[in-house]
Structure formats: C-alpha cells, structure tokens
C-alpha cells in the first residue's frame, strides 16, 4: 500500500522529540544519546543523513554505561543504512522489527464479556498492569498481591511513579482490557507534538500468554489507534516480528519500514 511522502522523516522527528522533556541530548559522533533517568530510558539514535562508525557506537556504549543506562541503539534502517554494520562491528547484538503506520483503520470488537478502560494516573492496579506487560514479554517479576505495598495508595516502583506522572500529564495513554474482574491485556500510546502537529506511537500491547489467540491484542491495538487518531495526525508502531505485524495489519496498519535495535549480547532487557 502506497503511503504519503515524508512519513519516515516525521517519525524520525518524533523519535528526536520524545526524550526532550526527560533527558539532555549528547551528540556522540553521528548519534544522539538521551542521558536521563534509567527508570524511563531512551535508546541512542543516529542523526538522519550521517554515517555511523563502530567508534561512534563504542563511545555511545561507554557513555550509556557510565550514566547507568541500558545499552541500546535504535534506528530506522531505511534512514540510516550505515548503522547496522557499525553496531555489529562494535560487538552489539542486532534485531529488526517491522514499522507500521495506521493507514486504513479497522474497528475491531473485543471478545464478549471483555471490557476496555482508560487507565487513570491514580489507578491502584497500575503495578498489576505493569506485571502483565512483564510476563507477556517474558521478563516477569513478582506478581503484586492485593495486600502488597505496591498496590493501593502507595506509588509502587520508581517506574510506576514515572508512569503515573506521564499518564497524569497526557504523555502516555494506557488502556486495559478486563474480563471477570481480571486484567487480560494492556497497551499504551505516547503522543508527542512535532512541528505543531501530534504524532503518537502505540507500544507495549500485551496479552496474558494463556489467553492469546482470542483477538485481545488486535482489539486493544484497534482501540488505541482510534483513541490516538482523535488528536494525532500520524499513528505508528513497531511490531515485535513479522507474525505480530500481520496481526496489526488486520487492524488497518500498513508496513512502512524496518527498525533496527542493538544491545549488548545476552543483555537482560
């Protein structure tokens, strides 16, 4: 499906603008490194049109490690063709994921009995939603219990506190799907104003592993896209792999490009 020109350039500007409220930007060779809190880190990114070298990447790794940040470099392959060879030469592990844009949105219904809610900044179940995301992406921590200090009035983990602030200020919109009183899927989108217009990235769409295959993720992605498009002129996401991308294509997303992600080999991310 053909797309209007300039979409990749606008997405690159989104990626450049997203860290600005949280971090200072340091130029390291041909890359920009967002140096802020490790609680909500951002990957280093190449500046469009510049050639990335292995020495640039090594310097980025050194800076991120010195700042206590996870080592991560991310780029749009079509915009920075030199980056993959450079990060491999610097010894990082590389993965690639499809980048898709909301092109012809389809409104999908969630399964019968599943209700969808916008999550408020003061929602006491927020740590449980984060736990759902962690198990869906295979990095589970301890499950919050009803009487756990992380649930209820307590702010929870440092990341939970940051997430609450982002929801309160509108920088993150979270939706949760609930069935029989249990959260079964969760996802977010992150609006950013870029050159006077809003762009939003859908991220972290997660379904309880035992409930996959019921259309929960696709229905939630459709709802997130619809909510984002109320104010955003461009909505996009990065899918985990081709199989996940095909699910999003059924909700009206179209493939636009490929995103490369590099980190330390065997890193616990």
Question: Residue 185 has which token pair?
Answer: 């899927």
Give the model confidence (pLDDT) of 77-133 as tens digits.
Answer: 999 999 999 999 999 999 999 999 999 877 777 778 889 999 999 999 999 999 888
Cβ-count burial 236-267 (b if 16+ within 10 Å, e if not):
bbbbeeeebbebbbebbbebbbebbbbbbeee
Strand-pairing partners, residue 235, are 200
Report the distance separating Cα 188 and Cα 204, nearest Å: 6
Share of the chain above pLDDT 90, in %: 71
> Cβ of 97: how many Cβ atoms within 10 Å?
19
Domains, the chain, in order of start with CATH, read: 7-99 (no CATH), 114-251 (3.40.630.30)
Give the model confidence (pLDDT) of 199-232 as tens digits.
Answer: 999 999 998 887 677 788 888 999 999 999 999 9
* CA neighbor of 64 nearest in space, from 107, 27, 35: 35
With contact defined as beta carbons under 8 Å apart, do 156 and 232 qualify? Answer: no
Q: Which residue has the tokens 């060879």?
A: 85
Question: What does the DSSP 8-state code read for residue 31?
Answer: E
Question: Strand, helix or coil at 24?
Answer: strand
Question: Residue 201 has which token pair?
Answer: 């990235």
pLDDT band at 57 (very low <50, low <70, confident <90, very high): very high
Q: How many CA atoms within 13 Å lie on the side-chain side of 170?
A: 9
pTM: 0.89
206, burial (CB in 10 Å: exposed 0-12, middle 13-18, buried 19+): buried
């Amino acid at each position: 499906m053909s797309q209007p020109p300039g979409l990749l350039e606008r997405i690159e500007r989104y990626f450049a603008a997203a860290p600005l409220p949280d971090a200072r930007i340091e130029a390291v060779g041909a890359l920009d490194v967002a140096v802020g809190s490790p609680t909500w880190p951002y990957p280093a990114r190449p500046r469009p049109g510049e050639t990335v070298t292995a020495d640039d990447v090594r310097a980025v790794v050194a800076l991120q490690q010195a700042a206590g940040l996870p080592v991560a470099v991310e780029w749009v392959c079509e915009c920075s063709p030199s980056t993959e060879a450079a990060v491999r030469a610097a010894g990082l592990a590389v993965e690639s994921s499809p980048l898709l844009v909301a092109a012809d949105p389809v409104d999908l219904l969630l399964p019968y009995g599943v209700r969808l809610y916008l999550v408020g900044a003061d929602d006491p179940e927020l740590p449980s939603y984060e736990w759902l995301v962690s198990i869906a992406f295979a990095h589970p921590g301890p499950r919050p219990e009803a009487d756990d200090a992380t649930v209820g009035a307590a702010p929870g983990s440092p990341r939970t506190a940051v997430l609450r602030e982002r929801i309160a200020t509108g920088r993150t919109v979270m939706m949760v799907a609930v069935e029989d009183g249990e959260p079964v899927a969760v996802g977010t989108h992150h609006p950013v104003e870029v050159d006077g217009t809003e762009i939003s990235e859908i991220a972290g769409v997660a379904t309880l592993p035992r409930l996959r295959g019921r259309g929960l993720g696709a229905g939630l992605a459709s709802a997130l896209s619809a909510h984002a498009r109320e104010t955003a002129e461009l909505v996009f996401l990065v899918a985990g792999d081709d199989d996940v991308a095909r699910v999003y294509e059924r909700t009206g997303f179209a493939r636009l490009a490929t995103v490369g992600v590099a980190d330390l080999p065997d890193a616990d991310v």
